[in-house]
Amino acid sequence: MFCGNNSQPVYGFDTFTGLPTDWRNGHGHGAFNIPNGTNISVPYNTILVKGLFIDTLPDQLLLFDRLYQCHTPVSFVHIDCDIYDSTRDILFLLGSRFVSGTILLFDELFNYPGYEKHELKALYEFLSSSNMRLIPVGTSGSIDRHPTQDGTIQSFALVVDLEQNM
């Protein structure tokens, strides 16, 4: 939806080979694999980059900086990598590029057993190492702090606020 309403390129990063490590029960290493030869249909201004975030983001960011001749800011990040390591890599690699108004959308931040060990843990670590303030935009459901099974809504959006004095 975002790609269709924007003439700027939108980049997607994924291994396309599934989770690089075990996440939780029923979602082990390789879960969410997209078989070779699968046709992935994306809008014209979408560029997909294959590989682990830690392996692909640094080089891609250098290319952006050379192309635009600046430390390229990031306006929207949809974090749907499920596991702690990948979420941590994204936040720490992109954090210096967040500007006031950058939107962070987490897909599996909470509402499943063990949520505190993954995207949420990485977010806490990132925030504790920075002076960044994030303002909750919200979710469309309730948050269960002690889930025994998957909740229906796990996504949560935040907006970066760098204008506020800490």
pLDDT digits (tens, 9 = 90+) for 36-45: 778 888 888 8
- Cα gap 79→157, rounded to integer Å: 10
Low-confidence spans in the chain with pLDDT less than 50? 1-3, 166
From 62, 82, 69, select the one nearest 20 (Cα to Cα). Answer: 82
**What pLDDT is stored for residue 131 in this prediction?**
86
Identify the pLDDT of residue 158: 92
Kindly report the CATH class assigned to 3-161. alpha beta
How many Å apart are CA 18 and CA 58, to the nearest integer? 21
**What pLDDT is recorded for position 15?**
87
**What pLDDT does 6 receive?**
64
- pTM of structure: 0.84
The per-residue pLDDT for 3 is 46
pLDDT of residue 140: 74
Task: Label the pairing between strands 74-79 and 98-106.
Answer: parallel
85, 90, 93, 94 alpha-carbon torsion, rounded to 10°: -160
